[in-house]
Amino acid sequence: MYDTILVTLDGTPTDRAIIEHLKQLAKLAHSHLVLLHVADGWAARTYGPDAISPEIAEDTAYLEKVRAEFQAIGIPAEAELAYGEPVKEIIKWVQRKHCDLVAMSTHGHRFLADLFLGTTATQVRHSVSVPVLLLKAK
């Protein structure tokens, strides 16, 4: 059913909600996970894959740590670092990796920012043709 799940990670404690949920779901569905973090700092937006910064190094190490956590319990996972605008990159990676599901933790509401800009989760949900699992972090 969910052969390939794209898991968006932002490198904050909010990620734990979706990580823990997917440990069970991925085992049950025998899924392959694509762990995606979109680096959107100045260096990432300006230089893309050629960017070198402490942020990029930290993001890469974080993704590898989470990938190893899934691998250790028998869930195949790959880590991908994208650069630029999160919504556009998430949509691109859903198509690139032929994902059957997008899984995201959400931060909750920031009211005015959400009202005018929309959240990443909302924009992704309306832009992809696969199911989106949104899990609100505690």
Domain ranges of the chain: 4-136
The one-letter amino acid code at 15 reads D
> How far is residue 35's CA from residue 52's CA, in Å, rounded to a whole number?
20
pTM recorded for the entire structure:
0.88
CB-CB contact of 136 with 105 (8 Å): yes
From the list 100, 128, 22, the residue with the least C-alpha distance to 66 is 22
In Å, the largest CA–CA distance within the chain is: 42
Q: Does CATH place domain 4-136 in 1.10.1060.10? A: no
Structure tokens at 96: 């690139």
Q: What pairs with residue 35 in β-bridges?
A: 7, 79
Tokens coding 60: 């890469």
Lowest pLDDT segment from 53-57, 64-68, 72-76, 118-122: 118-122
- Name the band, by pLDDT with cuts 50, 70 and 90, for residue 120: confident
Burial of 63 (0-12, 13-18, 19+ CB in 10 A): buried
Instruction: Give the pLDDT score at 79.
Output: 98
DSSP, res 27: H
Give per-residue pLDDT as tens, 2-15: 999 999 999 989 89
